[in-house]
Chains A and B, each alone.
Chain A
Amino acid sequence: MSSVELLEIRDFLAEVPPFSLLEDDALGHIVDDMTIRYLRRGNAFPPEDEAEAQCYVLRKGAVEERDDDNLLLAKYAEGDVFDAAEFAAGGGQFRAVEDLLLYCLPSERLRACRREVPEVDAFFRRTLGERLRHARHRVADRVLFRPNLMSMPLSSFITRHPVTAPPGASIREVAGLMGNQATAAMLVVEDGRLRGIVTDRDLRARCLATGHSPELPIASIMTADPRTLGPEHPAFEALMVMTRRGIDHLPVVDNGEIRGLVSTRDLLRWQSANAAHLAMLIRSCDDAGELPALSAELSELEIQMLAGGATAGQIGQAISSIADALASRLLELGQARLGPAPVAFAWLAGGSQGRQEQSTHSDQDNALILADDYDEHEHGAYFEALARFVNDALNDCGFRYCPGEIMASNPKWRQPLSVWQDGFRVWIRHTDETLAKVLVNFLDLRLVAGAPELQQAMAQHVVAECRHSERFLAQLVENMLANRPPLGFFRNLVLIASGEHAKTFDIKTRGIIPIVDLARVQALAAGITEVGTVRRLHACVAARVLSEEAASELEEAHEFLGLLRIRHQVEQLRDGQAPDNFIDPERLTSLERKHLKDVFAVVGDMQRTLAVRYSAGGVSA
C-alpha cells in the first residue's frame, strides 16, 4: 500500500530488468520489501554485514570487479542488479569505487518472485543461447510490421504431387506429359528415387535448339542428381539456393522420399520485392549501365527483410546472393564484349560476400583463379580487362573498391591455380603478422562463377596447408586478439578492457569480426572447407572440435550482433545518414545492453581459450 507513493523508487525499477518485466502490482510489492543502504567508496561489495543474502540494485555510484591480479573485469553503475547467488559463483573481487546508494531485496524474496512470475524466472534461468534467441526477436520487434512468410517450411508450399517420368521415357513423351499437366518442370524417378529434373528450358535448350532427337530417353537431357532440400527447410533457404544457382525449380525430398517440387513462382507469390526477384532482373539485364539502378534496390530489400522479421543470417545471404548475381552477370556481359574466356577461370568472392554475411554497405573483395594452361603473354590482357570491367561495374553498383586492393583487377590476386597454390604454401609457412592479416581475406573465398574444380583444388590446398601449420594458426589467433570485445557498459559509456570508456563501440570490429575469426580459426584447425561463420560452427560441432553449447552461444551471439548492426544501419538510412558500425549504448534498451554484455563475455571467454591453446597474446590473455 505504501509503495503507491514511492514513485521515485518504483519508476526507477520499472526500467531495470528483471523488475521491468513485472506488472504494476507485483512491482509495488517488491518495493515494499526493499530496504535502502548507503555504502562508502572503498568498501567491499556486497556489504559483509547482511544477516540474509540480498539482491542489490545499484541506484547510484559505481562498483568495480577485478581478478586476483587486480585486472579490471567489469564495472557496474546505476541500474545494474546483483543477486547474492552470483557472488557465490566465483569471479572477481567487487569493490565500491564511488559511494553507493543500494536498493536491497532479500534474495529469498526474489526467489519467491521468480516462482510467481515466469518471465522473471526465465530471465535468470535461460542459458545464454536461449536468452539471446529470445532477445533477437525483440531487436527486430522495434521495426516489425508483419509475419515472415519466408520462414514457413517448404512443405507448406507444396500444392500437388509432382509429375514424374522414368529415365527411359522418350523426350517426346515427357514433353507431352508436361503439356497435359501444365507444368514447367518434371522429376525423373526410378524405383522411387529421384534421378534428375527436366524443365521447359531444358527441352528448348538441350533438345530443340541442338537438334537432339526427341526419341532419345529423357535421361539424356535431364539435370542429373539435382540439388534438393528437405520439407522442413524454410522457404527462404530454397529461394536462396535457386537464386544462387539461377534455377527456378527445386525438388523437395525427405530422407530420399520425393515430397514435391517448389518453384520460384510459388515462393515469389508470397513476397514481391525480394531477393530472387531482384536477382532475376539482374541476371536478365543486358546493359551493365542499368545494373547500378537495380543495385540501388538493395537498401530497400534490407529494410523490407528486417521489417519482415528475417534474421541477420537470411539478410546476409540475400544480399550476398544479389552480389553474386551481379558479378556473374557482369562476367557474362564482359565476355560478351571481350569474347569468350581463352582459358577456364574461377571468379571468387572473399570477405563477407564469401561468407554470405554481406550487408548493403560492404566493400568488394574478389580474386580470380585461372587454369594452369594460362599464358601471361597470350591471355594476360584479356583477363586484366575482364577483371577491371567487373570491378569497376561493381564499384558503380555501390560495392566500393576494396581499400586493400583485394580485387581480381590487382595482378597479384589474378593468377593461375599453381601460382596461387605455391603462394599459399610459402605465405602460410613463412607467415608473420602482416602477411596473416592479408591472407585472412583469402580464407573466406567462395566460387561465384566459373570452374568449380579450380576453386575446390585451391580451397583443399589452403585448408590442408593451414591445418598443419600450427604457427600460422597461432598467428591468426594472435591477430584476432587485436579485436577484443568491450568489457561491458558503464553508465551510458562503453567500458574497454584498459578501464577506459568510450561513447560508442564498433559492432563490426569489436563484436562480429571476433566471432567470424573464432569460427575461422577453429574450422581451419579442423580441416573444414566451409566458409560461412554459422556453417563453420556447425561443422566444428560435427567434427567434435567445438561443444554444441559453445557453438550455439557463438551462433546466437553472431546473429544478435548482426541484427543490431542491420537495425542500426537501417535507422541511419531512414534518418538520411551514411550507415556505419558505431553503436551508441544510449540508443539501446537496458535489456539489449545486458545481452550485449553477455555476448562480449562469450566472445572474450572463447578468445581467451584459444589464446591459451595457441599461447598467444601473453599470459594475461
Chain B
Amino acid sequence: MFGLFGPDARRRRLLRKAPEGPLRDYLSVAFPARRSDWREVPFVALDLETTGGDPGRDEIVSFGWVCIDRARIVLSSARHRVLRLSGDMSPTSAVIHNITDDESAAGAPLETVLSEFLGVLAGRVMVAHYTPTEVGFVAAASRRVYGAEILTPAIDTLTLATAAARREHRRPARGELRLANLRRRYGLPRYPAHNALSDALSAAELFLALASERRGPIELGMLMSPA
C-alpha cells in the first residue's frame, strides 16, 4: 500500500520537501510501528463534514476529532471546529450538517484548524469510517494551505467491519456497513449523528469494539490492512 519502504520511509521523503511550519512539524514525528500492539498505539478518530464528495472541488465544513490512548477514548481531547468557507454552503449540505451560513462565517480559517489538527495527529494513526473522505480532504487541504503533499496513515472502521464479516464467511447486507447500523450490530448506544464530533466519537467507539473483537495480540498493521 505504501510501496517498498513502508509509510515511514515515505514520510521521511516528504519531510525533506515540506515547507517550514505545521506540515513539516507533523511529518517530523515518526509514525507508530506497524508491529506495535494496537493497545499501545495512539490514535485520533476524525470525522469531516464537507460540502460534497470531491476533495478537489468541495470544501470541509467542520472537523470533529477525539484521541484514543491505550485503548481508551479520552474525552478531554474531543474537539469540534467549524470552518469559514470561501463559497456559500449549498442549502442541502446545510441541512445535513446543521451548520448555517452565519455559523460558518463565524468559523475559523482552514489554515488554523488544519494546523491544530496536525499538531494532534503527529505520532498518531487516524481512525475514520470510510477513510477515503478524511484522507482525501486532509490531503487536498494540505496542498491548498501548504502547497505540499501529506501522508496520513489511517484505519478504516468500514474496512475492519467488512473483514470481520468475511471472517464469519458472510457478505455484509445492504446498508449494514453504515456507521449507525454497525454500531447497533456491535451493541453500541444510538447516538443522533448531530455533528462531526459525534460521528468521530461514534467511529472511535466502533473502532474499540472491532479491535477488541479479535482474540490474541493484535498488531497495528493487522488493523491497517486487515486480512
Are chains A and B native binding partners rather than an unrelated pairing? yes
Distance (whole angstroms) from the CB of B64 to the closest CB of chain A: 8
Q: Does A502 interact with chain B (Cβ within 8 Å)?
A: no
Roughly how many angstroms separate A12 CA and B198 CA in the complex, as a whole number? Answer: 14
Taking the closest CB of chain B, its distance from the CB of A524, in whole angstroms, is 51
Q: B33: CB under 8 A from chain A?
A: no
Q: Are A38 and B75 in contact (CB under 8 A)?
A: no
0/1 per residue, A50-71, Cβ < 8 Å to B?
A: 0000000001110000000000
| CB of A98 within 8 Å of the partner chain | yes
- List 12 A-B pairs, Cβ < 8 Å: A2-B79, A3-B75, A5-B195, A6-B197, A6-B201, A8-B189, A9-B75, A9-B201, A37-B73, A38-B71, A59-B189, A101-B205
User: Do A104 and B72 touch across chains, with their CB atoms under 8 A apart?
Assistant: yes
Known: A6-B75, A33-B76. A38 touches B212 (CB 8 A): yes
Contacts of B74 in A (CB 8 A): 35
- Cβ proximity bits A116-131 to B, threshold 8 Å, 1 near / 0 not: 0000000000000000
Question: Can you name 8 extra interface pairs (CB under 8 A) apart from A6-B78, A39-B212?
Answer: A2-B77, A5-B195, A6-B201, A7-B194, A32-B75, A37-B71, A38-B208, A101-B189
Instruction: State A104–B74 Cα separation when bound (angstroms).
Output: 10
- On whether the beta carbons of A8 and B75 are closer than 8 Å, the reply is no
Q: Using Cβ atoms and an 8 Å threshold, which residues of chain A touch B186?
A: 99
* Among candidates B71, B192, B208, B212, residue contacting A8 with C-beta atoms closer than 8 Å: B192
Contact A37 B208 (CB under 8 A): yes
Which one of A12, A34, A35, A60 contacts B188 once the chains associate, using CB atoms below 8 Å? A60
Please, how many angstroms separate the alpha-carbon atoms of A396 and B131 in the complex?
76
Once A36-B208, A38-B212 are accepted as A-B contacts, the answer to whether A2 and B189 lie under 8 Å apart by CB is no
Q: Please, how many angstroms separate the alpha-carbon atoms of A2 and B201 in the complex?
A: 12
Q: Is B213 an interface residue (CB 8 A)?
A: yes
- Asked whether A8 lies within 8 Å of B187 as measured between CB atoms, the reply is no
A298 at the interface (CB under 8 A from B): no
B76 close to A2 (CB less than 8 A): yes
The answer to whether A5 touches B197 (Cβ under 8 A) is yes
Question: Which chain B residues lie closer than 8 Å to A31 at the CB level?
Answer: 75
Contact A60 B189 (CB under 8 A): yes
Q: Are A36 and B212 in contact (CB under 8 A)?
A: no
Binary contact track B179-214/A, C-beta < 8 Å → 1, others 0: 000000011110110110110010011001100110
Is B80 part of the binding interface, using a Cβ–Cβ cutoff of 8 Å? yes
Assembled-state Cα–Cα distance A60/B187 (Å): 7
Please give, as numbers and ranges, the residues of chain A lying within 8 Å of B195 by CB-CB distance: 5
A212 contacts across to B, CB distance below 8 A: none
> For residue A8, which residue of chain B has the nearest CB?
B191
Q: Which has the most chain B C-beta neighbours within 10 Å: A5, A38, A39? A: A38
A34, B198: Cα distance in complex, Å: 16
Q: Which of B78, B186, B201 has the most CB of A within 10 A?
A: B78
- Judge if A430 is at the interface, Cβ distance under 8 Å: no
Interface residues of A (CB under 8 A from B): 2-3, 5-9, 12, 31-40, 59-61, 98-99, 101, 104
List A contacts of B64 (CB < 8 A).
5
Closest-CB distance, B149 to chain A (whole angstroms): 31
Inter-subunit contact A5/B205 (CB<8 Å): no
Known A8-B201, A38-B208, A38-B209; contact A101-B75, beta-carbon cutoff 8 A: no
Cross-chain contact A35 with B191 (CB below 8 angstroms): no
Q: Are B75 and A40 in contact (CB under 8 A)?
A: no
A31 to B66, CA, bound (A): 13
When the two chains form their complex, are residues B187 and A99 in contact, meaning their CB atoms are under 8 A apart? yes
Taking the nearest CB of chain A, how far is it from the CB of B121, in angstroms? 17
Distance between Cα atoms of A107 and B127 in the complex (Å)? 29
Q: Which listed residue, B73, B79, B189, B213, touches A35 by the CB 8 Å rule?
A: B73
Q: Which of B187, B198, B213 has the most CB of A within 10 A?
A: B187
Interface residues of B, CB < 8 Å — how many? 28
Q: Bound complex: CA of A7 vs CA of B74, how far in Å?
A: 15
Cα-based distance from A38 to B198 in the complex (angstroms): 17
Q: Is the CB of B75 within 8 A of A35?
A: yes
A99 and B209 form a contact (CB under 8 A):
yes
Measured in the bound complex, the distance between the Cα atoms of B202 and A7 in whole Å is 12
Q: State the 7 A-B residue pairs at the shortest beta-carbon distance, nearest first.
A: A38-B208, A36-B73, A35-B72, A2-B78, A5-B80, A8-B191, A5-B197
Interface centre among B76, B194, B198, B201 (most CB of A within 10 A): B76
Q: Complex Cα distance A461/B77, Å?
A: 75
Q: Which residues of chain A are near B201, meaning CB under 8 Å?
A: 6, 8-9
Task: Report the bound CA distance from A608 to B195 in whole Å.
Answer: 53
**Cβ of B161 to closest chain A Cβ, rounded Å:** 15
Docked pose: A153 CA to B146 CA in angstroms = 80
For A41, the closest partner residue in chain B by CB is B187
Shortest Cβ distance from A62 into B: residue? B187
A2 near B75 (CB under 8 angstroms)? yes
Residues of A within 8 A of B212 (CB): 38-40, 99
Residues of B within 8 A of A35 (CB): 72-75
Chain A residues within an 8 Å CB radius of B78: 2-3, 5-6
In the complex, which residues of chain A have a beta carbon less than 8 angstroms from the beta carbon of B213?
40
Question: B209 to chain A: which residues have CB within 8 Å?
Answer: 38, 99, 101
Q: Cβ of B80: which chain A residues have Cβ within 8 Å of it? A: 2, 5
CB pair B75–A7 under 8 Å, yes or no, is no
B residues within 8 A CB of A39?
212
**B204 CB contacts on chain A under 8 angstroms:** 36
Please report the C-alpha to C-alpha distance between residue A277 and residue B190 in the assembled complex, in whole angstroms: 56
A36 to B186, CA, bound (A): 15
Residue of A nearest to B211 (CB): A38
User: Which residues in chain B, 67-96, are within 8 Å of chain A measured between CB atoms?
Assistant: 71-80
Task: List B contacts of A59 (CB < 8 A).
Answer: 189
* Least CB distance, B214 to chain A, in whole angstroms: 10
Q: How far is the CA of A8 from the CA of B190 in the complex (A)?
A: 9
Contact B205 A7 (CB under 8 A): no
On whether A7 and B189 interact (CB within 8 A), knowing A40-B212, A99-B209, A101-B205, the answer reads no
The residue of chain B having its C-beta at the shortest distance from the C-beta of A31 within the complex is B75
Which of B73, B74, B75, B78 has its CB near the most chain A CB atoms (within 10 A)?
B75
- B residues 19-70 with Cβ under 8 Å of A? 64
A218 to B184, CA, bound (A): 86
> Contact between B187 and A61 (Cβ–Cβ < 8 Å)?
yes
Interface centre among A2, A8, A104 (most CB of B within 10 A): A8
* Cα A99 to Cα B186 with chains together (Å): 8
B134 to A: closest C-beta gap in Å: 18
Q: Point out the residues of chain B lying under 8 angstroms from A6, CB to CB.
A: 75, 78, 197-198, 201
- Could you tell me the distance in whole angstroms from the C-beta of B65 to the nearest C-beta in chain A? 10
Residues of the A chain whose Cβ atoms lie less than 8 Å from the Cβ of B205: 36, 38, 101
Complex CA distance for A2 and B77, rounded to whole angstroms: 8
Report Cα–Cα, A35/B195, bound state, in Å: 20
> Is the CB–CB distance between B72 and A101 below 8 Å?
no
A9 and B75 alpha carbons, distance in the complex (Å): 10
Find chain A residues with CB under 8 A from B77 CB. 2
B182 to chain A, nearest CB (A): 14
Whole-angstrom distance between the alpha carbons of A3 and B208 in the complex?
A: 21
| Residue in A5, A34, A98 whose CB lies within 8 Å of B187 | A98
